């Protein structure tokens, strides 16, 4: 019985000569079919160069939503529905690319984390509340006994000062 050639072993296992050489370098006896099969079973799966998605995406790429979080949700849905390993790898790579895009948009300031928005809104509302309470407390002694025209002018000046301070606080939110 004649021994198989290395080329025949490659064809029988569906691998390239480089993969076979890497197995030999790793200490695998390539002439032993069981040992080679065990080694090849541990190899990391690669997506074929000509692989195409076999699962139909929820939405074609042309109609992907502007919101990256919605696009990510749809790709996750496609990953759950697929049965083919190549499809999972392709969609996972697409998902990683979208996540990188989201991080870039966050760094550029196009996307602001929800916690940061809540914190900023709380800070502005708290400042507005304190300014209005201060206006009510400070106005009574200043306005006591004045005619209506004077009261109106003083209130207008105080309210203008408050609005200026609140505007400055709002302007500093995302700096």
Percent of the chain clearing pLDDT 90 (strictly above)? 1
- Whether the pLDDT of residue 50 is over 70: the answer is no
CA distance 4 to 173: 73
Mean pLDDT, range 17-41, rounded to an integer:
88
Tens of pLDDT, residues 96-126: 888 888 788 878 877 777 888 888 888 888 8
CA distance 99 to 113: 14
Tens of pLDDT, residues 60-89: 555 555 676 787 788 888 888 887 777 788
Cβ-based neighbour number of residue 36 at 10 Å: 20
- The residue that leads in pLDDT, 53 or 91, is 91
């Amino acid at each position: 019985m004649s021994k198989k050639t290395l080329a025949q072993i490659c064809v029988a296992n569906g691998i390239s000569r480089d993969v076979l050489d890497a197995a030999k370098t790793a200490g695998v006896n390539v002439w032993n079919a069981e040992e080679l099969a065990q080694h090849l079973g541990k190899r990391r799966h690669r997506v074929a160069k000509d692989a195409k998605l076999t699962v139909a995406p929820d939405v074609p790429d042309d109609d992907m939503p502007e919101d990256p979080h919605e696009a990510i949700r749809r790709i996750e849905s496609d990953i759950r529905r697929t049965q083919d390993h190549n499809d999972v790898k392709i969609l996972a790579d697409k998902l990683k690319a979208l996540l990188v895009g989201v991080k870039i948009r966050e760094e550029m300031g196009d996307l602001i984390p929800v916690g940061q928005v809540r914190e900023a809104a709380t800070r502005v509302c708290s400042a507005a509340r304190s300014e209005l309470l201060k206006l009510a407390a400070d106005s009574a002694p200043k306005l006591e006994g004045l005619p209506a025209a004077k009261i109106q002018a003083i209130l207008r000046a105080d309210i203008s000062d408050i609005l200026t301070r609140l505007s400055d606080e709002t302007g500093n939110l995302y700096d």
